[in-house]
Amino acid sequence: MLVPSSGLKIDNPAWPLLQALISYWGTTDNDGNVAGTTIRCGGLATEPPYENHALKILSGPSAGQTRDLLLHPAGTDTLTVANAFTNVTGAAQQILAGTLFVVLSKTPAIAEVAALTAIVVALVADIEGATGIFHEQADVAFDVPAVLAAEADILHLDDADTRYIVRSLRLKCVDPGAETVTVRLYELVDDVLTEVDSFIITNANFGIYFSLMDMFGLPHLAGDELQVTVQATAVGPYACTGQYSHGKNNV
């Protein structure tokens, strides 16, 4: 590790901070490439590789810019960065001899480690079944015949310990002629699955691709159990086709 001999005393309160943040401080003694992606300094040949650190330019047209270090082969005087240094016009800037620079430490601070640990813990908890995060499911297409005898399910979501959100639903019915097709919505009310709304499809409106808002005045559905059914007033059958998308999480 090379630090500047600028008169900063070792008992200065800033000294530990300098050691923590800077791995090498130097001045280039050869020109880097014209693409602006390398710097050269003879002293680097006796330093350990600084790959995966960060390089900051302190003087010249690129002063203040920092780039991630990709390469520093052991025993060489050359550092290669991921992206070119640039000048005031945004053009690639060659780093010439006599340019001040520092190699910054990439070791995370204690607070950063704690933050990353918290994120990992949260992700693991989510995978194992945490609440609050919905996992999106593949769209479900349906082609359900509406008949007189009984209601037919468009969807019935009721797995144990699972909460659902139906984000969208589109439903189209063939012409029922003189009959009608009723679309019913069931949700839990006092923990009992209950019909809470319905919508009628007739010869006058069958040509529309109905949405949740059209049928029930809702942008989406949410709950631990959800059911949407269709039923005709005559034998039929009257085909009801469409698609819905939903997410779910464990509770």
Query: How far apart are alpha carbons 66 and 44 in whole angstroms?
Result: 18
Q: Could you name the CATH architecture of 135-250?
A: Sandwich (2.60)
Which sequence spans correspond to the domains of the chain? 15-104, 135-250
Residue 251's pLDDT is what? 77
- pTM of the full predicted structure? 0.51
Give the 3-state secondary structure of residue 134.
coil
Can you give the pLDDT at residue 166? Answer: 96
The tens place of each residue's pLDDT in the chain, 251 residues long, gives: 555 555 555 555 566 666 668 889 899 999 999 999 999 999 999 999 999 899 999 999 999 999 999 999 999 999 999 999 999 999 999 999 999 999 988 655 555 566 667 766 666 665 555 556 788 999 999 999 999 989 999 999 999 999 999 999 999 999 999 999 999 999 999 999 999 999 999 999 999 999 999 999 999 999 999 999 999 998 889 999 999 999 999 87
**What count of other Cβ atoms lies within 10 Å of the Cβ of residue 172?**
15
Displacement of CA 182 from its chain's centroid (Å): 40
What per-residue confidence (pLDDT) applies to 125? 60
Q: What are the CA-CA distances from residue 5 to residues 13, 60, 94 (Å)?
A: 16, 21, 27
What pLDDT does 2 receive? Answer: 58
What's the CATH class of domain 15-104?
mainly beta
Given this chain, do its domains 15-104 and 135-250 carry the same CATH topology?
no
Q: How many CB atoms lie within 10 A of CB 171?
A: 25
Q: How far apart are CA 37 and CA 135, in angstroms?
A: 42
Give the torsion sign (CA, 172, 239, 154, 141): negative
| Spatial separation of the C-alpha atoms in residues 145 and 197, rounded to whole Å | 20
